[in-house]
Amino acid sequence: MSNSTNTLPTRDEINVNDTWDLTPLFASDALWEQELEALTNDLSIYEKYKSHLHESADILWNCLSDDDRLCKRLETIYSYAHQKQDQDTSNAKYQEFYGKAYELYTKMLSVSSFITVEITAMGKELLEQRICEKNELELYRRSFEVILKQSDHTLAQNEESLLARSHGFSAAASDIFKMFNNADIKFEPALDCKGESHPLTHGTYVRLLESSDRTLRKNAYESLYTAYGQFRNTLAAMYESNLKRFAFYGQVRGYKSPIEYALHGNEIPTKVYDQLIEAVHEGLPSMYEYVKLRKKALGVDHLKMYDVYTPIVSDFQRTYTFEEAKELALKALAPMGEEYIALLKEGFDNRWIDVYENKGKRSGAYSTGSYGTHPYVLLNFTGSLNDVFTLVHEMGHSLHTWYSHHNQPYVYADYKIFVAEVASTCNETLLSKYLLEHAQSNEEKAYIINNFLDSVKGTIFRQTMFAEFEKITHEKVWAGETLTADKLCSIYHKLNEEYFGPDMEVDEFIDMEWARIPHFYTPFYVYQYATGLSAAIALSERILTLGEDGVNDYKKFLKGGSSKTPIELLQIAGVDMTTKQPVLDALKNFSNYLAFIKKYDII
């Protein structure tokens, strides 16, 4: 839709069939505004339950039922507002919609904060008694267990209410970064070796770095980081502010470390995080071999950071239309069975997806949705093979959401973040295997292997490097240290040297990469890309090896929501993430592909 010779279209210029249809959420803006006002008024319902949950099973049941009902409504309000804003972040109307939705979310957190406090105060024995008195409360047994596990970190009712109210302004750093990164920052066009200009945006950046034109890659890379570098001190202040916010909430709740705070709510042992970093460090020699291979394949004396995206198979490159991408997705995911494929087609045919980039559109890609409506996917599709992988990735999220929402009650419908990246990367792995199996030549086979290697490089090695950066910076702020732009750049520079090894020239431009990573404003999220791909590689092997039995085990995981811990759900599917083994196996897979390439000299 966008190309190197045209500027981006406005939202109104995009074909409506290439945009998501938000009418299942709300048929009009006016109806959204009516529901916003109605839910705001209905929050008074909570007042009649406050300080009374311990009195009877009926009161407890009615409160929890009403809370679920109101939360569903809030989800739909919030989804509509944030999707409307993300499709054009420069639209002032939808900026206001999002602000109002977030304000309502914060208010609801505050007025409902007593629920967790009072359930904690009731204790295990009284809660068991209430379940015996009213069988319907059995639905909330696991929810009660999770709340009681958090009891050491639950504060008094007034304190919980105050913390909940603080979320509205404490998210300022994230909100400011989002507006800066999506609406305000501008990049100078990049010139290619012929002197032709190419517009540089978040959506075109990776595509430009995939170019075989090294001059274009270099100019795009330096243009992007020069733009961020102009705001280095402001961006450092934003990032540090978000770290201070996280440390404040964690320390107030009595956690011993930022990682404990981040992982405890998702019921993930802290050793999972540390073991990931340890396992990837053990696998760094294979990363260094990959870098050496890339240097040789590109035929350069000095490998630069802007050389890490371009395919190292120069004789086989192609682009895809969106129709071709959808057909490829359906073929590659066929091992998942007829039901799964039918759901994919439903999403493709009924405007679940917002396909192309337009002016002001949020960068990147994501899957979202609310209980009671189908999921949605935001893309910025430009036709690269990476974009095909992004499509199957985000539809993996969406179908995980679909299965979870259709098999779990609302209270357990949302799966934990730790498993969020498993279904998406399992789809990517199945696509890689399909493409490799159907390669028509050594050149095409090398192209697909290169893509797999780049996927592991980007998802396991790179995201673990991000995770280590987060661990270092969060621990410093947790301990009271001040982080300046110079300190952040220094930490990031050293990590790049360690992860890429001696054959990569790490320059000063890459030092600013930390400043453009949106996920850093959701602390300790990125490590789950690495654990997710590791689990996904293992699960894809089971699906392809065991057939229907492997698919059935996998679907038990997809349907599980948060009805069990993330670790337990993955164990049901056949993977144990409490050990290093899935990560080590994934890195062994990476090493085997490297050995294959070197043995047959196909690159």
CA-CA-CA-CA torsion for 336, 339, 343, 345, nearest 10 degrees?
A: 80
Reduced 3-state DSSP string for 474-512: HHHHHCCCCCCHHHHHHHHHHHHHHHHCCCEECCCCHHH
> Cα separation of 587 and 285, whole Å?
10
Distance CA 134, CA 549 (A): 38
422 and 552 Cβ atoms separated by less than 8 Å: no
Residue 435 CA: distances (Å) to CA of 198, 329, 384, 428, 452: 30, 10, 14, 11, 10
The active-site residue out of 240, 394, 421, 468 is 394
> Which DSSP state fits 564?
S
Residue 184 is given by DSSP the state I
Does 428 qualify as catalytic in the annotation? no
What are the angstrom distances between the C-alpha of 489 and each of 152, 325, 484, 494, 505? 37, 38, 9, 9, 16
d(CA 319, CA 322): 10
- Residue 315 in tokens: 């004789």
Angle at which helices 114-133 and 157-170 pack, to 10 degrees? 130
- Per DSSP, the three-state class of 196 is coil
Which of 465, 468, 446, 504 is closest to 308 using CA atoms?
A: 504
Strands 376-378 and 366-368: antiparallel
Both tokens of 147, joined, read 């709340």
Q: What angle do CA 541, 542, 546 make, to 5 degrees?
A: 125
CA distance 521 to 119: 31
CA distance 542 to 573: 9
First-to-final CA distance of the chain: 32
**What are the two backbone dihedrals, phi and then psi, of residue 376, each rounded to the nearest 5 degrees?**
-130, 155
Rg (the chain; Cα; Å): 24
CA distance 352 to 345: 10
Q: Do 481 and 491 meet the contact criterion of CB atoms below 8 Å apart? A: no
Asked if residues 392 and 332 have their Cβ atoms less than 8 Å apart, the reply is: yes
Q: Both tokens of residue 10?
A: 């406005």
206 touches 309 (CB < 8 A):
yes
Q: Which residues are catalytic?
A: 394
